Amino acid sequence: GDRRVEYETQWGVIAAHDRTRIEGADDFEVPALVGTWQWLRRDVDAKYDPRDGNLIDVGLGAGVTLDKGEPFYRASIRGQKWWRVGANDVLTVRAQVGKVWSHTDRLPQDFGYRIGGARSVRGYKYNSIGIERGDAIYGAPAMAVAGVEYVHYFNDQLGMSVFVDAGDAAESFRDMQWRLGYGVGAAFVTPAGPFYVDLAWGQKDRRLRLHFSLGIAF
Q: Is 173 helix (H, G, I), strand (E, B) or coil?
A: helix
Query: How does DSSP assign 52-85, residue by residue?
Result: SEEEEEEEEEEEEETTT--EEEEEEEEEEEEEEE
Q: What's residue 191's pLDDT? A: 83
Mean pLDDT (the chain, rounded): 93
Picking from 93, 183, 81, the residue whose alpha carbon sits closest to that of residue 146 is 93
Q: Is 208 exposed, middle or buried (0-12, 13-18, 19+ CB in 10 A)?
A: exposed
Q: What's residue 2's pLDDT? A: 64
Q: What's residue 24's pLDDT? A: 85
Query: In the structure, what pLDDT confidence band is assigned to residue 133 with cuts at 50, 70 and 90?
Result: confident
Mean pLDDT score, 93-97:
98
Mean pLDDT score, 95-101:
98
Picking from 34, 2, 3, the residue whose alpha carbon sits closest to that of residue 17 is 34
Query: In the structure, what pLDDT confidence band is assigned to residue 1 with cuts at 50, 70 and 90?
Result: low
Q: Is the pLDDT of residue 215 over 90?
A: no
Cα separations (Å) of 14 from 18, 31, 134? Answer: 12, 11, 28
Q: What's residue 152's pLDDT? A: 96
Q: What is the pLDDT of residues 200-210, one digit of tens each?
A: 999 999 999 99
Q: What is the pLDDT of residues 32-84, one digit of tens each?
A: 999 999 999 999 998 888 999 999 999 999 999 999 999 999 999 999 999 99
Put simply, whether the predicted model's pTM sits higher than 0.85 gets the answer: yes
CA 202, 204, 207, 211 torsion-angle sign: negative
Q: What's residue 48's pLDDT? A: 87
Query: In the structure, what pLDDT confidence band is assigned to residue 141 with cuts at 50, 70 and 90?
Result: very high
Distance CA 49, CA 54 (A): 12
Distance CA 69, CA 160 (A): 52
Q: What's residue 27's pLDDT? A: 86
Distance CA 78, CA 104 (A): 26
Distance CA 124, CA 33 (A): 32
Given a contact cutoff of 8 angstroms between Cβ atoms, the answer to whether 155 and 188 are in contact is no
Percent of the chain with pLDDT over 90: 78
Q: What is the pLDDT of residues 173-198, one digit of tens each?
A: 999 999 999 999 999 998 888 899 99
Given a contact cutoff of 8 angstroms between Cβ atoms, the answer to whether 63 and 33 are in contact is yes
